[in-house]
Amino acid sequence: MLSDVMEDYLKAIYQLQGEHEERIKTSAIADALEVTSPTVTSMLEKLEERGLVDREKYRGVTLTDEGETVALEVVRHHRLLEAYLTEHLDYDWSEVHAEADRLEHHISEDFEARVADALDEPEVDPHGSPIPSADLEPPDRSAGKSVTEFAEGDVVVVEEVADHDPEVLSYLATHGVEPGVELEILEVAPFGMVTARSSETVDDVSLPEGVAHHVRVTPLPQAES
Amino acid sequence: MLSDVMEDYLKAIYQLQGEHEERIKTSAIADALEVTSPTVTSMLEKLEERGLVDREKYRGVTLTDEGETVALEVVRHHRLLEAYLTEHLDYDWSEVHAEADRLEHHISEDFEARVADALDEPEVDPHGSPIPSADLEPPDRSAGKSVTEFAEGDVVVVEEVADHDPEVLSYLATHGVEPGVELEILEVAPFGMVTARSSETVDDVSLPEGVAHHVRVTPLPQAES
DNA sequence: ACACCGATTTAGATCCATCTAACCCTAAAC
DNA sequence: GTTTAGGGTTAGATGGATCTAAATCGGTGT
């Protein structure tokens, strides 16, 4: 059996691998989990012993297939919970992350199955992030690009808002930046700030780079007249 | 902040106080939580330091008001979860206990409130046990008596089935012993076994003392013709 | 090539919850 | 009243997750 903490490390590594590919450094994990690097080093040793990560001293880790499966299970729990909380308990998308983070390690397989059933096997959570399927096959994580990669005049559809800060999410929601909406890019500043107009609201929104980076979009399938 | 484990100790003490009154002995807690007595002793010392229990060395503990409040909060979480799981996620009453035990320490106050709201502030859980109210005032725990205290010919209504074993609960359900049903007492054997006929089923049920003790009932309000 | 800086690992300590073994208290039996 | 059996507590160890301080690695720049 794995501890909650081990699951958190595996989840963190999985998510970092999704962002930057390849080997994940000790310090990146330490930042993500808010612990010190020696703590991470000793945890990585334990995970390595259990065959959940491949480690090269001083050069970072990658998940083994087994480690990835565990991470996917945790992510599935997390995102199913997020979906359930918004659908059935009237949570706002800005609030679900913290609650799901607390519960994800403590639900049974049975609970997972019942929640998935109640939601009719959803494919994405309220932030547009894909929910790993019950068989825990690694999902495609290449859907969408950061909105920062587009240019003035492009029209895009928001696929995913991969931020967890409730304040940021509330802000985005009130300015019409949510999965499914269309965004017309008005400006991409050299320092990464994106200004856009949402199909949902009248006002324009400006997203500082840190935020914009988490807004993943796809080009509008059909050009508009 | 209290650890999950501390909450478990307080809940266990609360429940033991409900059964046998007064001081709770180290060994009773050790049995309930499946740990050794030295472990309990050292935990009780910590709880005493925090003002959650009153301890008299070699003679057991009682909850302080503060400790009782914590216990009631945990019990409220537990029973609300049990009610929610049966009402909204199609769980059977025999299955909810284990799941609620895992989740009870990890839900937020917000989650608790939303669940209570979705259920319209229920007063009892699926086993008929009272759910402490949101203000955490100690509820009356004298409702009902053990079915073992009645005699042949008595007709009673099941108020609560305070057992947690899924096997026992399934057995009871298939034999018509659930909160709300009427039971006609057919025999109370000298060694405590109770035989009764449920208003729900044709067969008679026999309950060995250990089980019967957990079936709490009240005399039928109106005598039948 | 070499030195240096930043990141990583090693070393050693702490706190929590748990255990076993050994000792000791309380209450019941005589 | 003494004795004794059974349960409670003390002592000391373990394993998990964390920390700080100190040593060490590795890539960068000259």
**Cβ neighbours of residue A134 under 8 Å, at least 6 residues apart?**
A76, A113, A116, A121
Residue B180: pLDDT over 70: yes
Taking the C-alpha atoms of residue A172 and residue A178, their distance in angstroms, rounded to an integer, is 7
Distance between the alpha carbon (CA) of A15 and the C1' atom of D30, Å: 38
- Strand D CB-contacts below 7 Å: A 3-6, 33-36, 38-39, 42-43, 46, 57-59; B 25-27, 30, 37-38, 40-42, 44-45, 55, 57-58, 60
Please say whether the dihedral angle defined by the alpha carbons of residues A46, A52, A56 and A58, taken in this order, is positive or negative. negative
Nucleotide nearest to A58 (CA to C1'): C8
Q: Which of A118, A123, A133, A127 is nearest to A88 (CA)?
A: A118
A98·B90 Cβ contact <8 A: no
Per-residue pLDDT averaged across A207-216, rounded?
92
Q: Say what the pLDDT of residue A1 is.
A: 87
Per-residue pLDDT averaged across B5-23, rounded?
91
> Which residues of chain B form beta strands (DSSP E)?
53-56, 60-63, 145-146, 155-161, 182-188, 194-198, 204-207, 215-219
Q: Say what the pLDDT of residue A225 is.
A: 47
Tens digits of per-residue pLDDT, B35-55? 999 999 999 999 999 999 999
Do A130 and A123 form a contact (C-beta atoms < 8 A)? yes
Q: Say what the pLDDT of residue B81 is.
A: 98
Q: Which of A6, A26, A5 is nearest to A16 (CA)?
A: A26
Taking the C-alpha atoms of residue A71 and residue A86, their distance in angstroms, rounded to an integer, is 23
A102·B89 Cβ contact <8 A: no
Residue A149: pLDDT over 60: yes
Taking the C-alpha atoms of residue B220 and residue B122, their distance in angstroms, rounded to an integer, is 23
**Cα of A106 to nearest chain B Cα, Å:** 6
**Cα of B32 to nearest chain A Cα, Å:** 21
Taking the C-alpha atoms of residue B117 and residue A179, their distance in angstroms, rounded to an integer, is 28
Give the pLDDT band (50/70/90) at residue A141. confident
The highest-confidence range among A185-199, B96-110, B141-155, by mean pLDDT, is B96-110
Tens digits of per-residue pLDDT, A72-125? 999 999 999 999 999 999 999 999 999 999 999 999 999 999 999 999 999 999
Question: Mean pLDDT score of chain A, rounded to an integer?
Answer: 93
Q: Which of B111, B41, B46 is nearest to B80 (CA)?
A: B111
Residue B21: pLDDT over 80: no
Question: Tokens 């008595």 map to which residue?
Answer: B154
Q: Which of A49, A7, A45 is nearest to A26 (CA)?
A: A45
Residues of A in contact with B88 (CB under 8 A): 88, 118
Q: Say what the pLDDT of residue A94 is.
A: 94
Q: Say what the pLDDT of residue A102 is.
A: 95
**What pTM, to 2 d.p., does this model score?**
0.92
* Exposed/middle/buried for residue B161 (C-beta within 10 Å: 0-12, 13-18, 19+): buried
How far does Cα A102 stand from its chain's mean position? 16
Paired strand residues for B158: B217
Q: Say what the pLDDT of residue B122 is.
A: 97
Per-residue pLDDT averaged across B19-36, rounded?
91
- Which of A88, A106, A108 lies nearest to residue B88, judging by beta carbons? A88
Per-residue pLDDT averaged across B59-82, rounded?
97
> Of the ranges A120-134, B1-15, B177-191, which one carries the lowest mean pLDDT score?
B177-191
The highest-confidence range among A185-199, B113-127, B201-215, by mean pLDDT, is B113-127
Structure tokens belonging to residue A79: 């995102």
Residues of B in contact with A102 (CB under 8 A): 106-108
Give the pLDDT band (50/70/90) at residue B143. confident
Residue B225: pLDDT over 50: no
Taking the C-alpha atoms of residue B139 and residue B141, their distance in angstroms, rounded to an integer, is 6
The highest-confidence range among A82-86, A147-151, A206-210, A214-218, by mean pLDDT, is A82-86
